[in-house]
Structure 1
Amino acid sequence: MGKNNSRKWLLLIIIACASFVIALDSTFMNVAITSLVKDLNTDIGTIQTIITFYTLITASLMLVGAKLQDIYGQKKIFLIGAIFYGVGTFIASISQSAPMLFFGWSLLEGIGGALMTPATLSIVSRTYTGKDRTIALSIVSAMAGIAAAIGPLFGGFVTTFLSWRFGFAVELIVIIFIFVFSKEIKDFEPISTGRFDKLGSILSIFGLVVLVIGILAINSDFVQFSPFIIVFAIIILAIFYYYENKLKNNGNEPLFDVSMLKIKNLSVGSIIRLIASVALAGALFSISIFLQSVMKIDAFTTGLTLVPLTIGLLLFALISPRLTNYISHKLIICFGFVISIIGALLLRFNFGLDIDLITLLPGMFLLGGGLGFVISLILDLALNEIEKKDQASASGFISTSANLGISMGTAVIGTILILGAFGGLYDAIDQYYPEKIDDAHFKEDAKNYVNKVGTLSEDQKENYHVKEISNIIVFNAMKLVMNVIILILIIGLGLSFTLKNIKYS
């Protein structure tokens, strides 16, 4: 009995490691943006796209990964995903150009993450029951959130003292660890004998990819096409919904049973998970940019400054399962949103050119702590009414929401940051250098400084004093970013009131 118990929790450790390393990838490079721009001879927009597409590719393939588990078995698909992931981390670690980094990190690791993530949730959900299930799902969820939050410190350490390449090497070590102990992973029997829904897969992948491309287009030379791209993506996803519904009604097996969306906790819970991911990823990305470009602190110090957010998320996530003995899941999640909103408000009023970094710590602790409550418990609530045969599919849907949220957080908040910066460019020049208001060459250098995050030559800085202008622009943009994050969190709070509480049998 004791031995079986130990094996059961050893399985949780393996799954938690997988969840940790996949989530780590989404944030640990944020603090290395300046180094990536220089080392790969590129710009911040390209790096933002690479970061965004890692989570986008993972999100767009998540439903496919979940369905493949049903057909071929969770363990087999999980390990195939680990192979993709391991090869991707190796290629990323030796990248010499932005396209090479994109291939190893965004593409291969994205595919690997899509195959592994649904299995991590469904294996846990099918293995544990009752309070054990709450604890296990909280730990797996918390590991993902903690990894996303601790990423900046980890990335800052390796970037400052070693190289950002070592970050990918560490991930490869974790993947090797997972393979060494893979025999502990229970091999659940496939639960589907139906055909693989190829058309549904194409529609879901294409729709999600086009959606984020439309968002990214806002910050590009194709900005005028962005609304049309986004609307086109929504149309594709609507077609996917009706096609899947038609398959189910005709007695065929769809990629995803859309009738499950009638279960309120699954549909609302997935949206809440997306919102939490948008807020977390957006805050980490924008604050990292602010600290490095405006405050001019190194990657490691940036990571240290973000540690309070990580600690808050970790502490609140760890105590949340115990709190469920006295307070409902729903109330804890609502309270979590309130705490995170307070944290974002504190950050909103503390950004400035001459700020003491200590003033940011309370806001980041509360923002991370509140999200810790939300992220750790929403999975248990969302999957509570799902039948065992649908666990993989539902897990894939929630994972899609979480990863799409991370992707959108980087894309949307990053775009708002840059749009706010460029939107204030004219006013900043008019205020500080009115004699150059019609100097196109001057304004182009200022624009390039913002886009390159401080990589202009010393001559350009001395001639035009662009640094002062770009600092003011980014400072004003951060206010807009925090306002948007607060609005997103308020929406999450409103939705959390509609959730149904868990009743243990």
Structure 2
Amino acid sequence: MGRWKPLVVLGTAQFLMVLDTSVMNVSISRLVEDFDTEVTAIQAVITLYSLVMAAFMITGGRLGDMFGRRRLFGAGLVVYGVGSALTAAAPTLWMLALGWSVVEGLGAAMVLPALAALVAGAYRGRDRVVAYGVIGGLAGAGIAVGPLLGGWLTSYLTWRLVFVGEVVLVVAMLAVLRWIERDPPSGRRASFDAVGAALSAAGLALVVLGILQSSSWGLLRPRNSPVTVFGFSLTVFVIGAGVLLLWGFRAWERHREEHGRDPLIHFALFDVTPLRSGLAVLLGQNTILLGLFFAIPLYLQVVQGLDAFQTGLRLLPVSVTMLLASLSGPLLSRIAAPRTVVRSGFAVLLVAILWLLTTIDPRIDDLSFLMAMAVLGLGMGLLASQLGNVVQSSVGERDRSEAGSLQYTSQNLGSALGTAFMGALVISALAAALTQRITDDPRVSAAVKEQAGVSLQSGVSFVPSNEVRVALAEAGIPPGEADALVEQYSSAQLTGLKTAILGAGGIAVLGLMFTRGLPSRRPEEPAPGHTGADRP
């Protein structure tokens, strides 16, 4: 039992990092009410949490090399605990964003790269496969407990108690931090690359910000863009500026290496094919998972009118099957290569997504929906059972922290992109479908069509149909035309949701294309002392 003590601490930390987002996703309606805001504002807060983690994960991995992975892991837990306390007490939306999105995000960016490296350093061979299976399984457990616990607390008490509980868990982990062996000095205590850290964080931030705002600003054609450039929406220029900064980051890192200075990240790592493929697949997996976990609660809460606890119950099957499939990693590694398992996972995901498309209707078929969610969790779990071990086993000991930072950068960038991308798809498809339906509806007069068109140009929100009815009544729209508009709005909502889910299917197809570089042989017991391949 003693050899698994480190995994207890590391696995609990992984559980915490996943719990937050799943709690927030099922609490969207209550958060909108508590902070007197809109769904898009909560979407921004959720996205910002993942964005902060993605933006600073590379920096966190580098700090782990400089100051020791266990030391940074402990410091990150302290920061995370402070953020949880701030979130639990947040009186305003801005305080929520500060405590949860920023402070907790920074704490997670310190914890997760160190966590990945500490797992790889503590275990070898078959034990490492087991350890990463447990880590993946606990990530699934966080997704399982989050909707159910968060939904129950949100419906009957308050979502704030989740973050009080996180503070308690952080204190408990710090009390047994000694179970993790102190990692030896890495010999890389060089000067910190502040320029590289700033370029990478700013570049990632602008890319995700542009995608997030595309639903309100418009992607190319301006809708509610604060400014227009050459007749185009600001969105494309924000994304372009982010890409330019990331290109500058890569050039700067090469410049440092050429002059014998230690960079923030060694881009030679991307020449390691299994690592490169593993990171790409992780990006796709989390884009799909967090995107769907944003869109599906909207369907359940806004369209179906379920409360947070009822939503959590309906999300439970995906979480249970993801947990079980994630824990199957050691068994699967005996009978199939990682590439085969991951490709099977994507195939199962596509089946689940097609199934979900048939269940998004005005009246939910609970049995069909629950079965589709269970299949979705199975596909996600098959991916989670392999990818952590693939990424860490593809590099040597000196590159553990960098590989860990890249691993969690991919995961959290995928989470941020998933929430932003799905949100943009839902709103854009909703606006387009509603505009077309109103234009083609003979029950709606020309004057009301014109009035609706002006309103749609300024943006549209994803809200319950009864709120639309109240707003139309306040605007003086005749009852007959109001009924027609509410009917068309409800139909357009389903179109928006189906478009987003279809988008997730497209990402799954793209993910399959990146599996070619994953290991095609079953992992065998490494020779004593083997720790993976060093970068070129």
Q: TM-score, normalised by structure 2?
A: 0.89
Deviations 1:434-485 (A, max 9, x none): 4245325556778888344568387436653454333211101122112111
Amino acid in structure 2 at the alignment position of 1:450: S
Cα distance in 2 for partners of 1:65, 1:444 equals 47
Amino acid in structure 2 at the alignment position of 1:426: T
**Aligned partner of 1:460 among 452, 471, 485:** 471
1:23 aligns with 2:18: yes
Structure 1 residue 184: Cα displacement: 1.2
Farther off after superposition, 292-301 or 167-176: 167-176
**Aligned partner of 1:58 among 32, 48, 53:** 53
Query: In the alignment, what sits opposite 1:255?
Result: 264
Q: How does 1:356-435 map to 2 (within 5 A)?
A: 356-430=365-439, 434-435=443-444
Q: 1:224 to 1:149 in 2, by over 3 A?
A: farther
1:504 aligns with 2:525: yes
Farther off after superposition, 45-54 or 313-322: 313-322
Q: 1:81 to 1:495 in 2, by over 3 A?
A: same
Instruction: Tell me the SS of whatever aligns to 1:28.
Output: helix
Query: In the alignment, what sits opposite 1:285?
Result: 294
Q: How does 1:52-451 map to 2 (within 5 A)?
A: 52-191=47-186, 192-220=188-216, 221-222=224-225, 224-430=233-439, 434-439=443-448, 450-451=461-462
* Alpha carbons 1:449, 1:455 under 8 Å: kept: no
Cα distance in 2 for partners of 1:150, 1:481 equals 25
* Alpha carbons 1:290, 1:478 under 8 Å: kept: yes
Instruction: Tell me the SS of whatever aligns to 2:426.
Output: helix
Q: 1:457 to 1:170 in 2, by over 3 A?
A: farther
Query: In the alignment, what sits opposite 2:534?
Result: none
Structure 2 unaligned segments of length 5 or more: list them. 217-223, 226-231, 474-478, 527-536
Cα distance in 2 for partners of 1:416, 1:198 equals 36
Instruction: Tell me the SS of whatever aligns to 1:183.
Output: helix
Identity fraction in percent: 28
1:33 aligns with 2:10: no
Instruction: Tell me the SS of whatever aligns to 2:364.
Output: coil
Cα distance in 1 for partners of 2:172, 2:363 equals 45
Q: 1:455 to 1:23 in 2, by over 3 A?
A: farther
Structure 1 residue 180: Cα displacement: 1.9
Farther off after superposition, 277-286 or 492-501: 492-501
Deviations 1:239-282 (A, max 9, x none): 21122123223321101111011001111100100100011001
Amino acid in structure 2 at the alignment position of 1:230: I
Instruction: Tell me the SS of whatever aligns to 1:435.
Output: coil
Cα distance in 2 for partners of 1:453, 1:100 equals 27
* Alpha carbons 2:337, 2:519 under 8 Å: kept: no
Cα distance in 1 for partners of 2:105, 2:176 equals 23
* Alpha carbons 1:436, 1:442 under 8 Å: kept: no
Structure 1 unaligned segments of length 5 or more: list them. 1-5
Q: 1:427 to 1:437 in 2, by over 3 A?
A: farther
* Alpha carbons 2:136, 2:323 under 8 Å: kept: no
Cα distance in 2 for partners of 1:294, 1:399 equals 33
* Alpha carbons 1:41, 1:97 under 8 Å: kept: no
Structure 1 residue 225: Cα displacement: 1.1
Structure 1 residue 294: Cα displacement: 0.7
1:481 aligns with 2:500: yes
Cα distance in 2 for partners of 1:258, 1:59 equals 17
Q: 1:437 to 1:288 in 2, by over 3 A?
A: farther
Instruction: Tell me the SS of whatever aligns to 1:27.
Output: helix
Structure 1 residue 204: Cα displacement: 0.7
Cα distance in 2 for partners of 1:36, 1:159 equals 9
Q: 1:230 to 1:15 in 2, by over 3 A?
A: same
Instruction: Tell me the SS of whatever aligns to 1:196.
Output: coil
Amino acid in structure 1 at the alignment position of 2:177: S
Query: In the alignment, what sits opposite 1:12?
Result: 7
* Alpha carbons 2:196, 2:252 under 8 Å: kept: yes
Cα distance in 2 for partners of 1:356, 1:174 equals 38
Instruction: Tell me the SS of whatever aligns to 1:307.
Output: helix
Farther off after superposition, 456-465 or 136-145: 456-465
Cα distance in 2 for partners of 1:292, 1:444 equals 28
Q: Kindly report the root-mean-square deviation, in angstroms, between the aligned alpha carbons of the 2 structures.
A: 2.0
Cα distance in 1 for partners of 2:440, 2:142 equals 42
Farther off after superposition, 214-223 or 22-31: 214-223
Cα distance in 1 for partners of 2:140, 2:247 equals 30
